[in-house]
C-alpha cells in the first residue's frame, strides 16, 4: 500500500479531488492529513493548521469545515496561536455530529512551554457553523501516540494540568463541558521513556503503558472499570515481552489487539492464545492511525438523517 503522509494514496487522492481550490493551495506544500476520529460512518481528518475535513467513504461525500470563529488578537504583540486539541463525536441529545477545537495562545517572549491562555469552539454539523463556548479547558493537551479517543459520548486527549500532573482531558459532546480524568496513581509518571496509549476495550477506557524504545517490549493494560473514577483503575493484563512491535493501535475484538510492527507493518495479537500474526498491511513506520469503521449512508452535509446500513470493519490509515 503506497502511503502519502499518513494516508493511503487512493484515499488521499480521492480527498484532494473533492477539496475546493483554496484548500488545495493550502495543502500544496504539505500533503499530510491526520485522522481525528470516526463516528457512525463519518471520518474526521485535519492537518491541524488550515482545515478540517469530514468525509464518508461509503457515499464518497466530503466537506471542508468553515474557518474558526475564534479571535486572533492582532492588537496583542508577540502573541502566537496554535490549535492544540481537536476532537470529533456525536451529541445524542441533539442528534448532531460535532467537532471541538482548542486553540492555545503563547506570548513569544514569555519563555514558558505552557500556553498563556486557551479558547475553545464547537462546530455543529446541523448548523454548519462554529460557536465559541464559555468554558476553559482545565488542562493543556499534549501529544502522545495513539491516545486521542472518542468514548462514552466524549473525546479524550493526553494532557497536563497547571501543576504538571499528567491527566486525561475529556470533552462531552452533549453538555459541551471539559472534565479531567486522573491517571492511575500506581504507574510511573513523568518518565519520558514510557509511552501511554488510550484505547477502548470491553466498553471501558484502557490505558496501555509501554517503553518507547527496546528490542523487546511489554505492554501493561490498565482499565477504568467505572468511568471517571480514579480508584477504579485496575491493572488487568500484561502483554509480552514481544519483539518487532512498536505500539498498540486498537482492540478489534475482546480477545484481539492490532499493533504496529517496528517496520511499519500491522500485526495482530491474540490475548487468549498469545499468538502474533503479521497482517498484509504496510505503511510508514509510526504513521498508523486505526479505527473500527462502521459503514453507513449518513451524509456529511446533513448528518441528522438515519443510518441506512452498518457494517463493522477495521480501517487503517
Q: Could you tell me the pTM of the whole model?
A: 0.83
The x, y and z cell numbers of residue 195, run together, are: 509511552
Instruction: Give the SS3 label for residue 293.
Output: strand
> Domain spans of the chain?
1-64, 66-182, 187-294
The x, y and z cell numbers of residue 127, run together, are: 448548523
Q: What is the pLDDT of residue 201?
A: 94
pLDDT in tens, the chain (317 residues): 333 344 444 555 455 445 444 444 444 444 467 788 888 889 998 876 668 989 898 888 888 999 888 877 666 667 777 888 999 999 999 999 999 999 888 776 655 555 677 889 999 998 999 999 988 889 989 887 689 999 999 999 999 988 888 999 999 999 999 999 999 986 665 666 788 999 999 999 999 999 988 889 999 999 999 999 999 999 999 999 999 999 999 998 778 999 999 888 899 999 999 999 998 888 766 677 777 777 888 888 764 444 444 445 555 55
Check if the beta carbon of residue 18 is closer than 8 Å to that of residue 299: no
Separation CA 211–CA 207 (nearest Å): 13
The x, y and z cell numbers of residue 59, run together, are: 457515499
Q: What is the pLDDT of residue 190?
A: 62
Tell me whether the omega of the peptide bond preceding residue 245 falls within 30 degrees of 0, making it cis.
Answer: no
Instruction: Give the SS3 label for residue 161.
Output: coil
Closest-CA residue to 63 (of 81, 92, 88): 88
Q: What is the pLDDT of residue 23?
A: 42
For 67-127, what is the HEC assignment?
CCCCCCCCCCCCEEEEEEEEEEEEECCCCEEEEEEEEEEEECCCCCCCCCEEEEEEEECCC
The x, y and z cell numbers of residue 55, run together, are: 468525509
Q: What is the pLDDT of residue 39?
A: 87
Which long-range contacts does 118-122 make (Cβ < 8 Å, 24+ apart)? 118/84, 119/70, 119/71, 120/171, 120/178, 121/68, 121/69, 121/70, 122/98, 122/176
Q: What is the pLDDT of residue 21?
A: 43
Number of neighbouring beta carbons within 10 Å of residue 198: 21
Q: What is the pLDDT of residue 191?
A: 67
Number of neighbouring beta carbons within 10 Å of residue 39: 20
Amino acid at each position: 500500500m503506497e502511503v502519502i503522509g499518513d494516508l493511503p494514496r487512493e484515499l488521499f487522492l480521492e480527498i484532494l479531488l473533492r477539496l475546493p481550490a483554496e484548500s488545495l493551495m493550502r495543502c500544496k506544500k504539505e500533503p499530510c492529513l491526520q485522522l481525528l476520529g470516526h463516528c457512525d460512518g463519518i471520518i474526521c481528518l485535519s492537518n491541524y493548521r488550515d482545515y478540517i475535513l469530514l468525509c464518508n467513504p461509503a457515499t464518497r461525500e466530503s466537506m471542508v469545515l468553515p474557518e474558526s470563529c475564534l479571535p486572533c488578537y492582532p492588537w496583542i504583540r508577540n502573541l502566537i496561536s496554535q490549535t492544540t486539541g481537536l476532537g470529533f463525536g456525536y451529541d445524542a441529545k441533539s442528534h448532531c455530529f460535532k467537532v471541538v477545537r482548542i486553540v492555545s495562545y503563547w506570548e513569544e517572549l514569555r519563555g514558558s512551554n505552557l500556553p498563556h491562555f486557551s479558547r475553545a469552539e464547537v462546530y455543529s454539523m446541523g448548523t454548519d457553523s462554529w460557536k465559541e463556548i464559555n468554558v476553559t479547558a482545565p488542562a493543556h493537551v499534549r501529544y502522545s501516540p495513539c491516545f486521542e479517543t472518542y468514548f462514552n459520548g466524549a473525546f479524550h486527549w493526553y494532557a497536563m494540568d497547571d501543576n504538571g500532573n499528567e491527566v486525561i482531558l475529556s470533552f462531552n459532546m452533549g453538555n459541551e463541558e471539559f472534565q479531567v480524568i486522573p491517571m492511575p496513581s500506581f504507574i510511573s509518571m513523568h518518565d519520558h521513556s514510557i509511552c501511554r496509549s488510550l484505547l477502548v476495550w470491553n466498553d471501558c477506557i484502557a490505558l496501555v503503558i509501554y517503553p518507547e524504545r527496546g528490542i523487546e517490549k511489554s505492554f501493561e493494560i490498565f482499565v477504568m472499570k467505572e468511568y471517571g473514577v480514579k480508584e477504579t483503575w485496575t491493572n488487568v493484563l500484561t502483554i509480552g515481552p514481544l519483539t518487532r512491535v512498536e505500539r498498540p493501535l486498537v482492540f478489534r475484538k475482546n480477545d484481539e489487539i492490532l499493533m504496529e510492527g517496528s517496520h511499519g507493518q500491522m500485526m495482530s495479537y491474540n490475548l487468549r492464545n498469545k499468538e502474533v500474526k503479521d497482517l498484509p498491511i504496510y505503511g510508514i513506520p509510526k504513521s498508523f492511525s486505526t479505527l473500527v469503521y462502521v459503514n453507513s449512508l449518513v451524509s456529511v452535509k446533513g448528518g441528522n438523517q438515519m443510518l441506512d446500513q452498518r457494517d463493522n470493519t477495521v480501517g487503517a490509515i
